[in-house]
């Protein structure tokens, strides 16, 4: 956990995320089980994470536009690289950045990030805007879960032996934040291949 690691660049990160969302708008994906997710998502980078009735996958194209995902902003790459290095993972070169937008009530159930071929490189997760409660479990779904408050600018990095830890986000509380209004934006960087 790198508290406030992205605090100084938070406003610019939010700005860049909004630019990505102009080219590839946020959308509510459907799970393989047929449920619509409460978190709105988009992506930038060489590939983007997707879910639909056929499963989860990474795709070089945005299915809504049929074109490539927006290029990862230089600021994103720089921040993710510095955070990964600080956590002991030098030379991080993420292929994908999933951008999550939470509004009041939106949540992410406990899950593992396991759609990536690279099983060692870290996930780098950057919190922007409204605070959230991050759920941090263990390697088995039934393991005890810690609740960690994430504020705008906090960065969480998990890789190596912690790569497949179960994690999630508790339902977002209503609020207003100077950078994001009534939302929390989360960037999660992944090395997919």
Report what 16 binds from ligand SIN, Fe ion, none; CB cut-off 5-8 Å by kind: none
CA end-to-end span of the chain: 24
Report what 186 binds from Fe ion, ligand SIN, none; CB cut-off 5-8 Å by kind: ligand SIN
Shortest CB 167 distance to Fe ion, Å: 6
Which CB sits closer to ligand SIN, 180 or 186? 186
Size of the site for ligand SIN (CB under 6 A): 8
Report what 166 binds from ligand SIN, Fe ion, none; CB cut-off 5-8 Å by kind: none
Q: Could you say which of 9, 42, 43, 186 contacts ligand SIN (CB under 6 A)?
A: 186
Q: Could you say which of 43, 100, 121, 180 contacts ligand SIN (CB under 6 A)?
A: 100
Residue 69: which residues within 8 A CB-CB, separation 6 or more?
A: 24, 43, 44, 45, 46, 47, 48, 60, 61, 62
Which CB sits closer to Fe ion, 21 or 39? 39
Position with the least CB separation from Fe ion: 113
152 contacts ligand SIN (rule: CB under 6 A)? no
Residue 113: which residues within 8 A CB-CB, separation 6 or more?
A: 123, 163, 164, 188, 190
In which residue are the tokens 């927006």 written?
Answer: 70
C-alpha distances out from residue 90 to 84, 93, 117, Å: 6, 9, 18
Q: How far is CA 162 from the centre of its chain?
A: 17
43 contacts ligand SIN (rule: CB under 6 A)? no
Judged by the rule CB under 5 A, the positions of this chain that interact with Fe ion are 113
- Count CA within 13 A, CB hemisphere, residue 24: 28
Q: Are 80 and 124 in contact (CB under 8 A)?
A: yes
Name the residues that contact ligand SIN, by CB under 6 A.
100, 108, 125, 134, 167, 169, 186, 188
């Amino acid at each position: 956990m790198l508290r406030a690691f992205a605090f100084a660049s938070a406003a610019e990160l939010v700005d860049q995320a909004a630019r990505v969302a102009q080219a590839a708008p946020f959308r509510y994906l459907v799970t393989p089980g047929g449920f619509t997710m409460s978190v709105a998502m988009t992506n930038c980078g060489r590939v983007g994470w997707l879910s639909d009735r056929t499963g989860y996958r990474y795709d070089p194209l945005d299915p809504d536009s049929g074109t490539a995902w927006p290029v990862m902003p230089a600021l994103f790459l720089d921040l993710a690289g510095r955070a990964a290095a600080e956590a002991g993972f030098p030379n991080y070169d993420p292929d994908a950045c999933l951008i999550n937008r939470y509004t009041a009530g939106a949540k992410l159930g406990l899950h593992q990030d396991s759609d990536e071929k690279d099983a060692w490189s870290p996930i780098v997760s950057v919190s922007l805007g409204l605070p959230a409660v991050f759920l941090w479990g263990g390697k088995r779904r039934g393991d005890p879960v810690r609740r960690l408050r994430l504020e705008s600018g906090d960065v969480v990095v998990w890789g190596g032996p912690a790569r497949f830890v179960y994690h999630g986000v508790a339902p977002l509380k209503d609020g207003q934040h100077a950078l994001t209004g009534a939302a929390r934006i989360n960037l999660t960087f992944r090395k997919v291949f």
